[in-house]
Amino acid sequence: MIQLKKVFKSYTSDKQSTNVLKDISLTINEGEFVAVMGASGSGKSTLLNIMGLLDNFEEGELLLEEQECRRLSETERAELRNKKMGFVFQSFHLIPNKTVIKNIELALYYLKVKKKERRDRALKILEQLGLGDKTDQFPNNLSGGQKQRVAIGRAIVTQPSIIFADEPTGALDSKTSLEIMELLKEIHHQGKTIFMITHDINIAAYADRVIHIKDGQLFTEADTITN
Ligand code: ADP
Ligand code: MG
């Protein structure tokens, strides 16, 4: 599904360059649920943003379903993101001045789905997520858990190949976090590939495979035990 080969990434400010990802190689197979755990500042979001074509990197390769992505134009990257990826973020990233249903329909608008079908598909997803009575509300009138459900609805309505979730429960209380994780687990069981980032071991436990990141390098459980 997605393959990173010897990826290096640094950020340069006026004085110095910081290496954030150092020689990262990683394969995510179709149907897997992979979690990456690490401390704040360890490079988790940078890794997710690179895999989700939201950020660039200097060295290495990124293959998405065998297609090399590093040299694509911004337009080509946006097209791949809209078609093949869904995103869920800690702070939801919903559009505040659009209703719940419009937030979801927008994802389909970018795929040039016709108006009637956009509405039907968005309604169906909202009903599945238990938000059938919230369609015409604005995001600010929803609880955190409801906002994240809407964001998940937006991520799945396009039937993407992979869902990227960056600390999806980071802004939620523990009970709501578990409800959101149950929902992601259900989506995974329906066959979706998920790549999730978290710093919480209880959240990572929902994944099939947990990878650790420290100082821009990846470690598996086996490495952790032998080291
Ligand atoms: P995490 O998600 O694990 O908390 P990030 O990937 O956001 O970590 O950040 C990794 C490191 O890169 C941090 O030291 C952070 O300060 C730095 N960093 C992230 N984004 C930028 C940026 N746009 N410009 C400069 N430095 C950045
Ligand atoms: Mg982060």
3-state secondary structure labels for all residues of the chain: CEEEEEEEEEEECCCCEEEEEEEEEEEECCCCEEEEECCCCCCHHHHHHHHCCCCCCCEEEEEECCEECCCCCHHHHHHHHHHHEEEEECCCCCCCCCCHHHHHHHHHHCCCCCHHHHHHHHHHHHHHCCCCCCCCCCHHHCCHHHHHHHHHHHHHCCCCCEEEEECCCCCCCHHHHHHHHHHHHHHHHCCCEEEEEECCHHHHCCCCEEEEEECCEEEEHHHHHHC
DSSP β-bridge partners for residue 67: 64
Its sign, for the CA torsion 61, 65, 66, 67, is negative
Q: Which domain holds residue 162?
A: 30-56+74-223
Ligand 1 pocket by Cβ (under 6 Å) = 11, 20, 38, 40-46
Give a yes or no: residue 35 inside a domain.
Answer: yes
Give a yes or no: residue 202 inside a domain.
Answer: yes
For residue 43, report the distance from its CA to the centre of ligand 1, in Å: 6
For residue 172, report the distance from its CA to the centre of ligand 1, in Å: 22
Q: Are strands 33-37 and 193-198 parallel, antiparallel or unpaired?
A: parallel
| Total of domains in the chain | 1
In the chain, what percentage of residues exceed pLDDT 70? 97
For residue 132, report the distance from its CA to the centre of ligand 2, in Å: 31
Closest residue to atom 18 of ligand 1, CA basis:
11
Closest residue to atom 10 of ligand 1, CA basis:
43
Is 25's pLDDT higher than 90?
Answer: yes
Per-residue pLDDT at 16: 87
Quote the CA–CA distance of 105 and 209 in Å, as a whole number: 32
Residue of 7, 10, 11 to test ligand 1 pocket, by largest number of atoms within 8 Å of CB: 11
Per-residue pLDDT at 15: 81
- 66: tokens are 């065998």
Average pLDDT of the residues of the chain: 95
Give a yes or no: residue 172 inside a domain.
Answer: yes
DSSP β-bridge partners for residue 104: none
CB contact at 8 A, 7 and 192:
no
Is the pTM higher than 0.90? The answer reads yes
CA-40 nearest atom, ligand 1: 4
Name the band, by pLDDT with cuts 50, 70 and 90, for residue 138.
very high
For residue 19, report the distance from its CA to the centre of ligand 1, in Å: 10
Give a yes or no: residue 8 inside a domain.
Answer: no
Query: Residue 49 CA: which ligand is closest?
Result: 1
For residue 216, report the distance from its CA to the centre of ligand 1, in Å: 10
CATH number of the domain bearing residue 110: 3.40.50.300
Give a yes or no: residue 102 inside a domain.
Answer: yes
Give a yes or no: residue 142 inside a domain.
Answer: yes
Give a yes or no: residue 143 inside a domain.
Answer: yes
Query: Residue 166 CA: which ligand is closest?
Result: 2
Give a yes or no: residue 173 inside a domain.
Answer: yes
Closest residue to atom 20 of ligand 1, CA basis:
46
> How many Cα atoms sit within 13 Å of 121 on the Cβ side?
21
Quote the CA–CA distance of 104 and 213 in Å, as a whole number: 32
What ipTM was reported for this prediction? 0.97
In the chain, what percentage of residues exceed pLDDT 90? 93
CA-39 nearest atom, ligand 1: 3
Q: Are strands 193-198 and 17-28 parallel, antiparallel or unpaired?
A: unpaired
